[in-house]
Structures are given as structure tokens and as C-alpha cells.
Amino acid sequence: MSSKARYVHQVGRPTGFPTPDNFAFVEDGIPAVTPGTALVENIYLSVDPYMRQLMDDDEDSWDLHTPLDGRSIGRVVASEDPGLAVGDLVFHRQAWRTHALVSAATAQVLPALPGVSLSAHLSILGGTGLTAYVALTRIARLQPGETVFISAAAGGVGTAAGQLARALGAGRIIGSAGSAAKVRHLTEDLGFDAAFDYHDGSVTDQLREAAPDGIQVYVDNVGGDHLEAAIDSLVDHGRVAWVGAIAQYNTAEPPAAPRNLFEVQLKGARVEGVRVSEWQHLKPELLDFAAPRIESGLIVPDETIVNGFDEVVNAFLGMLRGENVGKMIVRTSPE
């Protein structure tokens, strides 16, 4: 183990798209273990779209010049907490750093799951998968045979939502993505029934072509023109699970509301936001549902893993640019 710990701080607020200059790498001593704590050497760090919103200057923002937080998996290397033993693999929320001081109250010991990769606890079994699971089962209340449209379908939540929707019995699954290669990945590798590149024309027209009979469920990771297109294609009593709005994260002014928003009322449809923090109690349910299907190969953790702590900022910015397929994860040390 290194004699130094490394951290990433945010040192400036972005205007528009973030740059590497908004971050700084900081080195310090390894945190000292005290009674009731354990030292974790991080193995995997998660970078997620929601983190972009935390960079802005509002009451929920990250503080400047302090270590950032996020989902992480690491190994306990020293412990004075009876609930954590040396060698335990744990999930915690002190990412953007090589080492973290945790306790049994702030870290979850991960179960050993045959046939399931450790990194899956940050993708399909982690907050990413939980977001998709909640969107489908609790917000949209997906029913067997229904048609589902997923935007940003080649990203972390999108690929999880597509596979979970199939396992939950969806009749037809449609995705939008940002390149021809991603479209092929959705249909050829992940089992989507149809997919389209939103650069190829009107999202409304492409969705109508892919779902001529309309859609019952929309999992929205984009907002903007995708939400407008989904409202257009919703059948009566359709449901929108609104996960995020990446289309507006890096703009000074948010886009205008969908021009057809009144159709929500006309169709008796429902649009509801997904706040995964309110659904943490469903993680065991997700684990019971998804883990056996991962082991059997029905669900595949779709991940882009970037190696090296030095790459965490680049991985984050690359994720915002859509350079990943599936969940973007940074490996900081060997398993």
C-alpha cells in the first residue's frame, strides 16, 4: 500500500462544459485509523451524470477545495471497527480518492456472489441499476408486454434499464443513442428490439417509426426533444419515469418545456421524477432479482472501465461527452 493518499478536489465552478482546470489532484498522508473506523483502499470509483449538477454553485453543490464524494468499492486494509474486518470488500460513498476512512455505519460489506464481477456493484447492482429498477418497477410500473422507450440507452442507466425491462417482461424495447456503433451495441449485444441515432433526424419521427403503435413507458435520461418525442408517442395512461436531463446539464439556460406538454393531461399520462436516494431500501430486492440473472447470463453488466486514478477526471468528462458504453467506472487498484 502507498504511503500517501491522493484526492481530487473541485477548485472552480464550470461555465458550460467542465474542463480539467475545474479539478486538482491533491496528495496527503494516509488517514489514521481510530477506534470505530476502518481504512479502505479504493478499487473502483463511479463517475455519474448527476455529479455535473453538483459542480454548480447552489446549496447542494460540492464544496470547493475539499475531497469530492461518490460511489466507491474498496478493500479494508486496517480496522478498529468490530463490524469491518481486514480484507472485507465494501461499498461506500467516498470516491474521487485512493483511500477512505469509513465505519460499519457508512460502509456496506459486499456479499460474495458467484459469477458476478465486483464492479457490477457499481453498475447493474449499484446506484445505476437501482435507478433503472426503481424507474421501471415503482415509477413507471411496467407491465408485461408493454413497449418501453429509453433515452441515452447506451449509458449506464440506459443499458441497465433495457436489460431489466426485458427481464421484467417488456414486450418491445426501443433506445436512442448518439452513434451508429452504440445503436448496433443496443440491438446486437443487449437485446433491444429497435434503436436509433438521435443525430439522424427528428427524434419524434424516428420514435414514431420505431413504435408505430405508441409506447406505454418512457425512461428519460435526456429531457428536451426526447421528452417531447416520448409525450407524442405515449398512449393513453402512459408513464414517464424522469431520471435525468443530460441535454441541459452544460447549458446556461435550460431548454423550453416540451411544446406538447399539455398532451400529458389529454392522455391521462403521468410524469414522475426518480430520486433514487428515496429507494435505497430496494437494494436487496434488486440484488435478489438481478444477481441470479447475471450468473445465468440473462443480464450482462455493461461497463466501460478506465484504469488508473490519474484518469478519474478524464473518465468523468468523457462520460459527460458520451464516450462510454454502459456504466463508466474507474479502476484505481487491482482487485
Q: What is the pLDDT of residue 244?
A: 87
What CATH number is given for 127-277 in this structure?
Answer: 3.40.50.720
> pLDDT at residue 254 above 80?
no
Q: What is the pLDDT of residue 38?
A: 98
Q: What is the mean pLDDT of the chain?
A: 95
Closest CA to 216 of 146, 152, 113: 146
Q: What is the pLDDT of residue 253?
A: 66
CA distance 102 to 104: 7
User: Which three-class secondary structure state does DSSP give residue 44?
Assistant: strand
Phi–psi pair at 54, nearest 5 degrees: -70, -15
Q: What is the pLDDT of residue 1?
A: 61
Q: At 249, is the pLDDT very low, low, confident or very high (cuts 50, 70, 90)?
A: low
Q: At 107, is the pLDDT very low, low, confident or very high (cuts 50, 70, 90)?
A: very high
What residue ranges of the chain are covered by domains with CATH 3.40.50.720?
127-277
pLDDT tens digits, 39-68: 999 999 999 999 999 999 988 899 999 999
- DSSP states of 83-105 as a string? T--TT-EEEESB-SBSEEEE-TT
What residue ranges of the chain are covered by domains with CATH 3.90.180.10?
4-122+302-331
> pLDDT at residue 247 above 70?
no
> pLDDT at residue 330 above 80?
yes
- Contact between 146 and 170 under an 8 Å Cβ cutoff? The reply is yes
| CB crowding 215-225: b at 16 or more within 10 Å, else e | bbbbbbbbbbb
> pLDDT at residue 235 above 80?
yes
Q: At 250, is the pLDDT very low, low, confident or very high (cuts 50, 70, 90)?
A: low
pLDDT tens digits, 196-221: 999 999 999 999 999 999 999 999 99
Phi–psi pair at 151, nearest 5 degrees: -90, 160
Closest CA to 169 of 216, 220, 122: 216
pLDDT tens digits, 160-198: 999 999 999 999 999 999 999 999 999 999 999 999 999
Q: What is the pLDDT of residue 335?
A: 82
User: Which three-class secondary structure state does DSSP give residue 66?
Assistant: coil
Stronger pLDDT, 140 or 247, i.e. the higher one: 140
Rg, Å, the chain Cα set = 20
Cβ atoms within 10 A of the Cβ of 103, count? 16
Q: What is the DSSP letter of 155?
A: B
> pLDDT at residue 256 above 80?
no
Q: What is the pLDDT of residue 59?
A: 86
Q: What is the pLDDT of residue 170?
A: 98
**Which of 3.50.50.60, 3.40.630.30, 3.40.570.10, 3.90.180.10 would CATH assign to domain 4-122+302-331?**
3.90.180.10
CA distance 165 to 168: 5
